[in-house]
Amino acid sequence: MSSPVSYALHDTVGVITIDNPPVNALSQAVRAGIVDALEQAASDSSEAVVIACAGRTFIAGADITEFGRPPQEPFLPFLLDQLEQHPKLTVAAIHGTALGGGLETALACNYRMALSSAKVGLPEVKLGLLPGAGGTQRLPRVAGAQAAITMIGSGDPVSASKALAWSVIDRVVNDDLLTEAISWAKELVASGAPQRKACDETFTLSDDDRQLIETTRQALNKKTRGEFAPQRALDCIVAAAELDFKAGLKRERELFIECMSNPQAAAMQHMFFAEREAAKVDGLDRNTPKVTIQKVGIIGAGTMGGGIAMCFAQAGMHVTLLDRDEDAVAQGIARIEKNYAISVKRGRLTDDQVSAIMGNITPATDYQALADADLVIEAVFENLAIKQDVFRTLDGICKDGAILATNTSYQDVNAIAAVTQRPEWVLGMHFFSPANVMRLLEVVRGEKSNDTVIATAMAVAKTIGKTPVLAGVCYGFIGNRMLQPYFRETSLCLIEGATPAQIDGAMERWGMAMGPLAVGDLAGLDIGYKAREQLSDAEKGNPASYLVADRLVEAGRLGQKSGAGYYRYDPETRARLDDPDVMAIVEATSAELGITRRAISDEEIVDRLTLALANEGARILEEGIAQRASDIDVVYIYGYGFPRFKGGPMHNAEARGIAEVVARINEFAETLSAENWQPSQLLLDLAASGGKLRDVKAH
Ligand code: 3HC
Ligand code: NAI
């Protein structure tokens, strides 16, 4: 097999070119190729060496697919030591993104040049790791404390101009990178420039720097709550100041291995690939034609319609926002303006940017305004008859080839499509609230939706910055369907003995962004109440799973919007406060239902809630509603505040062991409720065969 690394002399400069598509990751073959090329350059007539990459980017890091397998020599730290100690002057020529091991490679060169469009970063913390090939020791020595703390702590890449200002790189050029790098290498040699080595630089931390580390630690404790790697990454920067280079490298390696052995790393790497996989639709031809989306109609200027309009308008598309009358649409526009005023106040957007975005939104009350829309998204009240009326109207007005989408949370997309003469152009596009913020988009394929409709929806999701996941039609699709058993177990834990603070506290300490009862208060308890009003007693199920919520609503406690729900909310700070009145309602309801309250452990709460999700997720997979287990993980991480470092409910179950999960579910079936805790057939089959959720493909 030919090497992904080639070496050629360009006059007096040896050029090492890495060509390992798609992102020039440092696979074993690349590492070996670079070692060989460095050896060649050491003994030929070259006076300097340039490291450059073919294709769309400089090295984007270690090859993540190799993690978790036995490491193979040559190891990256060894290679970078060879590079740093190379007898010839070395220059990195960076285009695209130099990330992780890629930037570490550049930092081991004597000089760094980048295209102005390039970005550089050390994103390892996002994979549950820290830079493990000298990045935490070389970057502070090259660029100082602020750059190192910011880049290593956050993992966010920085632009070439920022990197230049911080001295991470030395020169920026606009084009002809390789030619420029070669001639610069010659110049450096000719001028007798020294072979600068990061390892020889000294690095100290001033009092201000130490203060910055402390404030960064606190900020990261909030932002990356529960994550193992970020604090260790900062420890390495402290080590860079306190230890010599060699000892610092040793410390970095120890902490890198600690991170790599922590289950969080596997979970976060799983999410890296899960996110990318989610965008792919099995069986869909890559060349499926897509509709070009320029004009978007949105029906319903309420909470969701307004947020959805913002997404498309921000992406530069023309949006017509329609509601029933002038008042309703004006209110919708005013709500959008209010949102943007906050963004301006926070410095996220300028007045000019907001004017440009608002210029993309045209209010309307007449459906005729949607006649030439390429895509129409309906976000009216959650009622099948109303939605069907809207689709009948759209069918009569919209041009051929327009895509008609519903943002329904629970209604049957097929029943909505069926009222039109073009059900193949109908699908669900289920956004999450607030729609302008939440990254998840469930793309719901109706039984007749055609391939163009699905391919276009997946593509346009990316254009507006969403992470799309394909779902089939069922009550609640993927995410909301799984919420049902999750909320059922929440309510049961409450009525059997736990308090709201205990349930939410247990889930939040475990890693959820917000506990389930606090989520209920945020969304509004009246929503579920109104939905239950439409159901028969049999459909509502066991009263223990909803009676407390009903009583809270009947007592005027609708959640945050009324100042009280499962908690009371401080009118000033909006902090949630325990409320004895709630416990009085809970205890009275337990007594009325003949339930003897008992102590429930945090572990039981977490197991009941997370396994309820995994069991329903397995059913969803079994039924082909989701394409793959990892898609379900993406839904929960981007739509429901599930912690990324646990990898989603399905990865979490897999990491725990499917046999153990089934055993715990069976235990709950015996001790709690056989009806609620039937293990899904898929979990039973996998437990018996030793198979993996990650290998299950929906048909
Ligand atoms: N290893 C293996 N595969 C990788 C990879 C990596 N480091 N980075 C990207 N890929 C794969 C993706 O999985 C995807 O594969 P697919 O086409 O089969 O789905 C393909 O490359 C293209 O990736 P994207 O779809 O993400 O392409 P974009 O153009 O949108 O983004 C990118 C390119 C900015 C480089 C982005 O892929 C990225 O951020 N990659 C990860 C960078 C990273 O985290 N590097 C650090 C690795 S850890 C490390 O270096 C440890 C060291 O300190 C020892
Ligand atoms: P909302 O009540 O805030 O807004 C609905 C809007 O639709 C109102 O402005 C109303 O005037 C308008 N409307 C009603 N009938 C209409 C018609 N025939 N023609 C034109 N406009 C009409 O409701 P919300 O919360 O925005 O929900 C809309 C849809 O989005 C529902 O299907 C809901 O299930 C779904 N959804 C809601 C989420 C949420 O968290 N609020 C999350 C995801 C989906």
Please name the residue ranges forming H helices in 448-565. Answer: 451-463, 479-496, 500-510, 516-523, 525-533, 537-540, 547-554
578 contacts 499 by C-beta, under 8 angstroms? yes
Kindly tell me if the per-residue pLDDT of 121 is higher than 90: yes
96 lines ligand 1 (CB under 6 A): no
Quick one: tokens of 566?
Answer: 């499962």
Q: Helix %, strand %, coil % for the chain, to 5?
A: 55, 15, 35
CA of 529 to the centre of ligand 2 (A): 17
62 lines ligand 1 (CB under 6 A): yes
CA distance 680 to 664: 13
End-to-end CA distance of the chain: 36
Residue 278's pLDDT is: 97
Residue nearest to atom 34 of ligand 1 (CA): 97
Mind listing the pLDDT tens digit for each residue in 498-516? 999 999 999 999 999 999 9
Mind listing the pLDDT tens digit for each residue in 636-652? 999 999 999 999 999 99
Atom of ligand 2 nearest to the CA of 301: 9
Residue type at position 687: A
104 is catalytic: yes
- List 47, 66, 104, 489, catalytic entry: 104
Please name the residue ranges forming H helices in 524-601. Answer: 525-533, 537-540, 547-554, 580-592
Atom of ligand 2 nearest to the CA of 300: 7
CA of 98 to the centre of ligand 1 (A): 11
| Domain boundaries of the chain, sorted by first residue | 5-261, 295-471, 479-592, 602-695
Residue nearest to atom 20 of ligand 1 (CA): 22
Residue 698's pLDDT is: 78
Mind listing the pLDDT tens digit for each residue in 68-90? 889 999 999 999 999 999 999 99
Mind listing the pLDDT tens digit for each residue in 453-497? 999 999 999 999 999 999 999 999 999 999 999 999 999 999 999
Residue 610 DSSP SS3: helix
CA distance 380 to 391: 11
Task: Determine the residue of 380, 391, 436, 526 to mutate for testing ligand 2's pocket, defined as the one with the most ligand atoms within 8 A of the Cβ atom.
Answer: 380
Which ligand ends up closest to the CA of 302? 2
Strand partners, 431: 441
Provide the percentage of residues in the chain whose pLDDT is more than 70: 100
213 contacts 149 by C-beta, under 8 angstroms? yes
Exposure of 215 by Cβ count < 10 A (0-12 exposed, 13-18 middle, 19+ buried)? Answer: exposed
CA distance 627 to 625: 7
411 lines ligand 2 (CB under 6 A): no
Whole-Å CA distances, 563 to 114, 201, 223, 566: 54, 58, 26, 10
Mean pLDDT of 613-633: 98
Residue nearest to atom 35 of ligand 1 (CA): 60
Which ligand ends up closest to the CA of 136? 1
299 lines ligand 2 (CB under 6 A): yes
Which ligand ends up closest to the CA of 272? 1
The dihedral over CA atoms of 239, 245, 250, 254, expressed in degrees to the nearest 10, equals: 30
Which ligand ends up closest to the CA of 530? 2
CA distance 370 to 639: 29
Residue nearest to atom 39 of ligand 1 (CA): 60
- List 39, 47, 124, 447, catalytic entry: 124
Provide the percentage of residues in the chain whose pLDDT is more than 90: 97
CA distance 24 to 29: 11
378 lines ligand 2 (CB under 6 A): no
Residue 697's pLDDT is: 86
Domains 295-471 and 602-695 share a fold: no
Is CATH 1.10.599.10 the right assignment for the domain spanning 295-471? no
Would you tell me how many other CB atoms lie within 10 Å of the CB of residue 283?
7
241 lines ligand 2 (CB under 6 A): no
The dihedral over CA atoms of 443, 444, 450, 456, expressed in degrees to the nearest 10, equals: -10
- Smallest CA-to-CA distance from 406 within 384, 422, 421 is with 384
Q: How confident is the model at residue 444 (pLDDT cuts 50, 70, 90)?
A: very high
Strand partners, 443: 429, 470
Residue 616's pLDDT is: 98
Q: How confident is the model at residue 699 (pLDDT cuts 50, 70, 90)?
A: low
196 contacts 111 by C-beta, under 8 angstroms? yes
Quick one: tokens of 269?
Answer: 């790497």
Which superfamily does CATH assign the domain made up of 479-592 to? N-(1-d-carboxylethyl)-l-norvaline Dehydrogenase; domain 2 (1.10.1040.10)
Residue 68's pLDDT is: 84
CA of 246 to the centre of ligand 1 (A): 29
Atom of ligand 1 nearest to the CA of 279: 19
Angle at 562 between CA 561 and CA 567, to 5 degrees: 95
CATH T-level assignment (fold) for domain 5-261: 2-enoyl-CoA Hydratase; Chain A, domain 1 (3.90.226)
Tokens 């009903």 correspond to 550
CA distance 246 to 134: 10
CATH T-level assignment (fold) for domain 602-695: N-(1-d-carboxylethyl)-l-norvaline Dehydrogenase; domain 2 (1.10.1040)
Quick one: tokens of 342?
Answer: 């906050």
